Structure 1
Amino acid sequence: MLVASSFSASWLRGDPRALEFLPDHFRHRAARAEAVSAAASRTVAPALHAALVARQSRLAPSPSRERNLELLARPGTTVVVTGQQVGLFLGPLFTIYKAASAIVAARALAEETGRPCVPVFWLQTEDHDLPEIDHTFIPSAAGALLRVALDVPDAAQSRTPVAHRRLGASVTGALATLRAELGGQSHADEHLALLERAYHPEAAMADAFAEVLSTLFADEGLVFLDPRDPRLAPLSAPLHRRAIEEATAIASGLAERGGALGAAGFSEQVHIRPGSPLGFFSPDGLEGARYRLDPASTPGTWSLVGHPEGASVTTPQLLSWLEREPLRFTTSALLRPLLQDTWLPTAAYVGGPGEIAYFAQLAPLYAHLGLPMPLVVPRARFRVIDDRVRRLLDRLGLAPEDAAAPRDALLARIAARDTGQDFEPPEAIEARLVSAFASELARLGERTASFEPGFARALSRTDKTVRGGISRLVARYGRAIAQRDQVTLERVDRLRAYLSPDGAPQERIHGLPYYACRFGSQAFTRRVLDACVPFLGDLKDLKP
C-alpha cells in the first residue's frame, strides 16, 4: 500500500486513481473560473470583517493590506487561502513558499476572471503540538545542520493551543545563537533586527510570526486570520455544533471515503475514529489543555482522550459550553478547512503534500455540510542553489538532484567515476546477497519440511544471523569507499546538509534566517515571488 504522502505525488502526476478523489481543477482555466464564480456568491460576514480589520491593525502599516481589507467588505470578492503552524522564526522555508504561492494565485485568478481576489494566511494557532514549532534549523558555516530552539521543559506534555503561548526568556538565547552563527553575513543586521523586534520574551508566538511574515509581504497586502481571536469564536459555534450533533453521519461518510482510498492503493492522511466529531474541547478554560472528543460507551457521552483523570462530558454539557464559551472548542486537521470555507469566500486553497492528502478525504464532509470544495492548488516548491552549493556541485561534478541519493550510493558513484573502477552501491550488494541467500534457504526449507518440521526454526535463526552479518559487511564496504577520499566525503556531507538535510527536502528543514541574512529579507522574498508560477507545483531551482 502507498503511504499517505504519495497521494500528492500521484495527484500531481495526473494519476487517474488520485483524480477520482481530488480532481486537478487547478490546471484548467474554465474550472478555475467556475470556482471563482461559486466563491463570489458568498460574502464575508460583517463580524468577521471587523475582526480581520482589528487583527491587521496590530501589524506594521501596509496600504496594500488596507486595500485588500476594503475589497473583503465588498460583495463578489473572493480569497485564496493558505496557512501554517506558527513556527519559531517562521519555521521551515516552505512557509514563505506557501505565502508567495497564495499571493501569486490570487493575482492570477483576479486577472483571469476580472473579480477581486485577496490572499489570506490562516495562522494555525489552535494546535497544541509545541515540539513541532519551537525550533528552526539553519545550515552552519561548516555545512552541518544547526537546531535553534526555545527551551520549554514541558513542551512534549503541553496541550494548550499555541495561541496562548508566550515565547519566554529562552527566545533571547535563540536569537543570540542566530547572531553568533549568521551575524557576519551581508544582510544579517537587517534580518536579525526584524526578528529581534518581533520575537521578544513577552510576545505570543503567533504575534511574532505574523509580524515578521506581514513585514516580508507588506507590499502584496497579505491578510492574516487567527482562528483563536475571541471575536471569531461565536462564528465558529455553528460548525462545532453540527460536528457534535451529526458526528455519527460525518464519521461514517469519512470512513467510507477512507475505505475507497485504501482500495485505490492510498492510505488516509488522518485516521477516522468511529463517531468522532473531529474537534477538541478545553474543559479547564479558554487557555487550558485541549482534548480530542471520542464517543464513550454511554450514549450521549464523550471521552476526553488523553485526560489524566479519564474525564468525560455529555452532549448537553458540551452544547451548553459551546453557547457560553465557544473559544473552548478547537478544530482538528479535517474540520479546519470547513471552518475556513464557512467563514470565507474561498476560491482556492494552497497546500503542501499533507494538506492535499487531507482534501482527498474531505469531499463527503463538504457535501454533508452543503459547502462547495475550493480549488486545491499545490504550493510552489523550491530548492535554493546559492553560491556555496554551486561550488560544491562543480567540485563534485554533480547535479542538484543527486544530493537526494543515499550517501553511500553517492560516494560509490563518485569513486567509480573518478577511478574508473566499478564500485557497486552498497544497497545493491546487500540486496543481491540477501536475495541469493534467501533463495537457497527457501529451497533447503522445502526439502526438509516433510521429514523435519523443527528444522524451520533453525532456518529462521540462521536467516536472521546471516542477514545481520551481511548488513554489517556491506556497511563496512560502504565506509571503506567513503574513507578513500576524506575531502570528497566532507564535500558530499556539506552538499547533502544544504540540499537534502537529514535526507529530507531542503524546504522542509531549513528556516529563513540563513537565506535572509545572506541575501536580504526583502530580496529573497522578492526572488521567491518572481519565481512562483501559479497553478504549477513543480520543483524549481532558486538561484539567488
Structure 2
Amino acid sequence: MRAPPRRSGCPTRIDLLSPRPVTPSFPSAWLKADPRALAFLPDRFRHRTARAEAVAQAATRTVSPALLAVLRERHARLAPSPARERNLELLGRPGTVAVVTGQQVGLFLGPLFTLYKAASAIVAARTLQEETGRPCVPVFWLQTEDHDLPEVDHCFVASAAGAPRRVSLTHADAATSRVPVAHRRLGDGVLTALECLRAELGREPRADEHLSLLERAYRPEATLAEAFTEVLASIFADEGLVFIDPRDPRLAPLAAPIHRLALRDAAAVSSALARQVEALTQAGFSEQVHIRPGSPLGFFSPDGVDGPRYRLDPAGPDTWSLVGHPRGATVTTRELSDWLEKEPLRFTTSALLRPLLQDTWLPTAAYVGGPGEVSYFAQLAPLYAHAKRPMPLVVPRARFRILDDRARRLLHKLGLTPDEAGGEREALLTRLSTRDAAQTYEPAASVEARLFGAFAAVLDPLGEPMLKLDPLLLDALKRTRGTVRAAVSRLAARYGRALALRDQVTTERLDRLRALLVPDGAPQERILGMAYHACRFGTRDLARSVLDACVPFSGELQDLTP
C-alpha cells in the first residue's frame, strides 16, 4: 500500500490519531458478491450453468499415463479403499474431471479447516457429478514443496479446562531450515507429541480410536507428508479421496515445462501480474502475494533435491540470484535449463505457480480454497491467460464452528449466542458481570472513547489559532495529546479490569468458552486441530457430521453440533 502524500504547511486541525481507512478483505467482498471483487474473480461457482461449462471444459483434458502410474503405485501403499481404487480408475478415463483442494501437511492434520477442505472437495465433486452426469473425482494436493517448517510442525489441542495446548515437534533447525517439508522426517519428537495428546485427551470417550490412528501413522521414521496422507486417507477412505504429492521424483519431469515457461517468460508474466495487483490496489484491496519484477515464481535447490531451496530473482542478463543464499550465490539461465533436463526435482513452485501446475496435470473443473487461496486466484488471471489455460471454478471451502455439549452448556449458563461469544472480551465481561447488578456500569472502551473524545473536542479547535500564533507549538500539542491519550487508556484499562474481576466464576466460564470457540480471538477452525473433537465423538463420526453438513458452493459459516 502506498503511503499518502505529504502535506505542505501547517495543519488546520490536529488529526494525528485519526483512523486510517480499512482495506476490505477480498475473500469477504467476493463472498458477498461485491462487484469490485467479482471484476477480478467471477463467482461462477454460484451458477449451475457456469458450473456445467467448467465441467465440460475440463472434460476435454486427460490425465497423463505417467501421472496415473505414479498415483496408482503411491496409493497402493495406503490401506485398501475400493472407493479410491474406483476413483483412480475413473481418472484414467477420458471425460473424467477433478475437484482439487490442498493444504500444507501440518502435524496431526493441522487446523480443523484441513478436514473441512477435504470434505468440501468431496461434496463439490459429488454435486458436480450429479448435475452434469460426468465422473468427478476429489483430489487433495499435498503442499510438500514449502519449506516453512514452523508453519506445520505443531497443532493446537482444545481443552475443556482452559486455553488450547500447543503440541509440537522438536527440530532444532526449524526456524532456519529451507528444505522442502517433503524431505523432513518426524523424528523422535513426534513420540513426545503423541504422549502430550494422550495426557491431554486420553480420558475422552473415543480417545483410543483416534489416538491409535495417529500413533500408527506418525512414526519417527515417517515424513510429515506420509503421516498426514495416511491419516486423511483413512478418514475419507469411503469417499475415495485421491492424493498427489508433487515431490515424487517421477513427477518432476511433468513439472519441468511449467518451470521452463516461468523462466522463459518471467519478465512478461511478472509485468502482467503486477498490473493485476495495481488494479486490485486501486479497487481498494491488498495483494496476497507480492510480485517481484522479473520473478519466475519459483525456487531452486542448488545443493540437491533434498537441500535448501531459494527463490529465483533476476540479477542481470541471463543471471538469477538465489534470494537468501548465505553466500549470495547466483545461477545462469543456461545452468537452470541444464538442471531442468537432468534433475527437475531441484525446482519447486511458489504459491502463485502451484495452481497452474495443478491444472496442467489434472482436468480440474473446480478448486476448493480458503480465504488465502481465493486471494491468490484474484491475482492469477494474467498467468493463466499467458499459459493459455482456463482458470477453474474457484469454490469457497465449508466453514464450521463446532458447538459440542461443553460449549453449549457454557453458552446456556452465560446466556450468550455463539456469535456474541466471539465479541470483544472486555465488553462481554462488563456486560455479564453487571447484568444483574443494581448499578449499571459503562463498558471500559466506551468510557475511554467518551473521556478522550471530550478532551479532543476542546483541544482540536485550539490547534489552528495556536499554530498561527507560533508554529513551534505543534510538538507541544502532539505531546499533550499523546500524554492525555495514554493516561485515559491507563485509567480505562484499570476500570475494565475492576469490572472483569467482579465475578470470577463468570470470567472463568467465558474464558473456557472462548478457548473452545474463538481461541486467541481467532476463528476456531483456523487454530484448533481435530484431535479434541475426534477423541470426544469419534474420528469417522466427526468426518461424517462434516460431510453431511457441507452445503455445496456456499462458503457460509455454519454451526455444527456433533
Which amino acid in the other structure matches residue 498 of structure 1?
L
Q: Following TM superposition, by how much is the alpha carbon of 1:55 offset from its aligned partner in structure 2, in angstroms?
A: 1.5
The match for 2:415 among 382, 387, 397 is 397
- 2:178·2:307 contact (CA, 8 Å) conserved in 1? yes
- 1:381·1:537 contact (CA, 8 Å) conserved in 2? yes
Mapped to 1, the partners of 2:114 and 2:224 lie a distance apart of 15
Matching residue of 2:401 = 383
Q: Following TM superposition, by how much is the alpha carbon of 1:4 offset from its aligned partner in structure 2, in angstroms?
A: 7.6
Matching residue of 1:46 = 65
Matching residue of 2:142 = 123
Q: Which runs of 5 or more structure 1 residues have no equivalent in the other structure? A: none
- 1:5·1:353 contact (CA, 8 Å) conserved in 2? no
Q: Following TM superposition, by how much is the alpha carbon of 1:423 offset from its aligned partner in structure 2, in angstroms?
A: 2.7
Mapped to 2, the partners of 1:477 and 1:254 lie a distance apart of 50
Q: Following TM superposition, by how much is the alpha carbon of 1:420 offset from its aligned partner in structure 2, in angstroms?
A: 5.5
Matching residue of 1:330 = 348
Matching residue of 2:212 = 193
The match for 1:294 among 305, 309, 313 is 313
Mapped to 2, the partners of 1:267 and 1:141 lie a distance apart of 38
Q: 1:125 to 1:143 in 2, by over 3 A?
A: same
The match for 2:474 among 456, 467, 490 is 456
Mapped to 2, the partners of 1:184 and 1:5 lie a distance apart of 44
Give matches, 1:177-216, under 5 Å. Answer: 177-216=196-235
Mapped to 1, the partners of 2:238 and 2:61 lie a distance apart of 27
Matching residue of 1:409 = 427
Q: Following TM superposition, by how much is the alpha carbon of 1:3 offset from its aligned partner in structure 2, in angstroms?
A: 7.2
The match for 1:226 among 223, 239, 245 is 245
- 1:4·1:357 contact (CA, 8 Å) conserved in 2? no
1:304 aligns with 2:329: no
Matching residue of 1:313 = 331
- 2:141·2:243 contact (CA, 8 Å) conserved in 1? yes
Secondary structure at 1:76 match in 2: coil
Give matches, 1:16-31, under 5 Å. Answer: 16-31=35-50
Q: Following TM superposition, by how much is the alpha carbon of 1:140 offset from its aligned partner in structure 2, in angstroms?
A: 2.2
1:351 aligns with 2:372: no
Q: 1:499 to 1:530 in 2, by over 3 A?
A: same
State the TM-score, normalizing by the size of structure 2: 0.95
Matching residue of 2:560 = 542
Q: Following TM superposition, by how much is the alpha carbon of 1:256 offset from its aligned partner in structure 2, in angstroms?
A: 0.3
Residue identity (%): 71
Secondary structure at 2:470 match in 1: coil
Q: Following TM superposition, by how much is the alpha carbon of 1:383 offset from its aligned partner in structure 2, in angstroms?
A: 0.2
Q: Following TM superposition, by how much is the alpha carbon of 1:104 offset from its aligned partner in structure 2, in angstroms?
A: 0.2
The match for 1:132 among 144, 151, 165 is 151
Q: Deviations over 1:512-537 (max 9, x none)?
A: 11111100001111111111111111
Mapped to 2, the partners of 1:37 and 1:118 lie a distance apart of 14
The match for 1:497 among 503, 508, 515 is 515
Give matches, 1:352-371, under 5 Å. Answer: 352-371=370-389
Q: Following TM superposition, by how much is the alpha carbon of 1:421 offset from its aligned partner in structure 2, in angstroms?
A: 4.2
| Farther off after superposition, 358-367 or 422-431 | 422-431
- 2:159·2:516 contact (CA, 8 Å) conserved in 1? no
Secondary structure at 1:156 match in 2: coil
Q: 1:391 to 1:499 in 2, by over 3 A?
A: same
Secondary structure at 1:159 match in 2: coil
- 2:179·2:309 contact (CA, 8 Å) conserved in 1? yes
Q: Deviations over 1:342-392 (max 9, x none)?
A: 110000000000100100000111101000000000000000000000010
The match for 1:285 among 286, 289, 304 is 304
Alpha carbon RMSD of aligned pairs, Å?
A: 1.2
Q: Deviations over 1:179-233 (max 9, x none)?
A: 0111111111111110000001100100000000000000000000000011100
Secondary structure at 1:126 match in 2: coil
Secondary structure at 1:137 match in 2: strand
Matching residue of 2:13 = none
1:8 aligns with 2:43: no
- 1:82·1:120 contact (CA, 8 Å) conserved in 2? yes
Q: Following TM superposition, by how much is the alpha carbon of 1:413 offset from its aligned partner in structure 2, in angstroms?
A: 1.9
Matching residue of 1:157 = 176
Q: Following TM superposition, by how much is the alpha carbon of 1:139 offset from its aligned partner in structure 2, in angstroms?
A: 1.7
Secondary structure at 1:272 match in 2: coil
The match for 2:288 among 247, 266, 269 is 269
State the TM-score, normalizing by the size of structure 1: 0.98
Q: Following TM superposition, by how much is the alpha carbon of 1:414 offset from its aligned partner in structure 2, in angstroms?
A: 1.7
Matching residue of 2:95 = 76
Q: Following TM superposition, by how much is the alpha carbon of 1:456 offset from its aligned partner in structure 2, in angstroms?
A: 1.1
Which amino acid in the other structure matches residue 527 of structure 1?
S
Which amino acid in the other structure matches residue 157 of structure 1?
T
Q: Deviations over 1:243-269 (max 9, x none)?
A: 011000000010000000001100110
- 1:5·1:354 contact (CA, 8 Å) conserved in 2? no
Secondary structure at 1:417 match in 2: coil
Q: Deviations over 1:305-337 (max 9, x none)?
A: 111111111111111111111000000000000
Give matches, 1:239-278, under 5 Å. Answer: 239-278=258-297
- 1:3·1:267 contact (CA, 8 Å) conserved in 2? no
Secondary structure at 2:468 match in 1: coil
- 2:156·2:165 contact (CA, 8 Å) conserved in 1? yes
Which amino acid in the other structure matches residue 539 of structure 1?
L
Mapped to 2, the partners of 1:38 and 1:471 lie a distance apart of 59
Which amino acid in the other structure matches residue 142 of structure 1?
A
The match for 1:167 among 186, 210, 214 is 186
- 1:128·1:158 contact (CA, 8 Å) conserved in 2? yes
1:340 aligns with 2:358: yes
